[in-house]
Amino acid sequence: MSGHNFNAKTSFRRTDRHSNGNIRALVCETDILQGLSHDICEAILNEGRIRRASAGAFLFNQGDEANLCYILLSGEIRLMLLTPDGKRVIIDIIGPGMHLGFFVALTGKQYPISAETIEETEFYVWDAAIIRDKILRTPQLTLNVLSSLTNRVICLQNKVQQLATERVEQRIAHSLLLLAQRMGKQQEEGVLINMPLTHRDLAEMAGTNIYNVSRILHKWEDKDIIATGRKRILLRSPERLPCHIQ
């Protein structure tokens, strides 16, 4: 993978962009930390630190030692898998309030995917050894990790099913609707996917090629279902796309 790599000691920059109250609310309300007592959540927060990475940075690469865990505060991150034949697949794109590395922190294994920032990103970061100790000592945190892992497995199963059974148009529509659900910003004209989104991103999410993405987006734009520009997509009539997330 190309791009800049980071390590715990030198490459993350401190930032004061968020207030302590906003950070506490965002971090403690993410699914991995929900239901924890104030004291436990505060103790976990005190063990971490806030950092920032520029666009195009790799928080970690597939196969790296899993030594850090993250919760996103702002920005978006591509989660990518490199197949044995060198093909890149986007497993997911995550945004604020979502987490990385907690599952592998529990097992102590290597990261199974790579994580690349799409734009400047802020996150809370912990040493994996600290999180592993907290998980083993805190029953509610253990349950949260297992519940979140189950949800991720279900999402991956759904993705495999889509790749196996859906037409290309349906897979692209599903990817757009998922991103709109997570990162969408309601506007007068529709729902703006409020992040830089390239045709390559959509192709790698939907298991197709850039030509198909360009052709299908152009068709939907002609029908006034979407509007495109500056690497952003506005869903004018999301209900007219060939699939819908309930």
Q: Which residue has the tokens 């002609």?
A: 222
Looking at every residue in the chain, the average pLDDT score rounds to: 87
**Architecture in CATH of 167-240:** Orthogonal Bundle (1.10)
pLDDT at residue 109, rounded to an integer: 85
| C-alpha atoms less than 13 angstroms from C-alpha of 54 in its C-beta half-sphere | 4
Domains 4-164 and 167-240 in one fold: no
- What residues have CB less than 8 Å from 97, skipping those under 6 apart? 26, 29, 30, 71, 72
pLDDT in tens, 26-81: 898 899 999 999 899 999 999 999 999 999 999 999 999 999 999 999 999 999 99
Which residues in the chain show pLDDT less than 70? 1-21, 244-246
| CB-CB contact of 43 with 100 (8 Å) | no
Strand partners, 68: 127
pLDDT at residue 152, rounded to an integer: 86
pLDDT at residue 19, rounded to an integer: 58
Domain positions in the chain are 4-164, 167-240
pLDDT at residue 36, rounded to an integer: 92
- Secondary structure, 3-state, the chain: CCCEECCCCCCCECCCCCCHHHHHHHHHHCCCCCCCCHHHHHHHHHHCEEEEECCCEEEECCCCECCEEEEEEECCEEEEEECCCCCEEEEEEECCCCEECHHHHHHCCECCCEEEECCCEEEEEEEHHHHHHHHHHCHHHHHHHHHHHHHHHHHHHHHHHHHHHCCHHHHHHHHHHHHHHHHEEEECCEEEECCCCCHHHHHHHHCCCHHHHHHHHHHHHHCCCEEEECCEEEECCHHHCCCCCC
Q: Which CATH number fits domain 4-164: 2.60.120.10, 3.30.230.70, 3.30.70.2860, 3.20.20.60?
A: 2.60.120.10
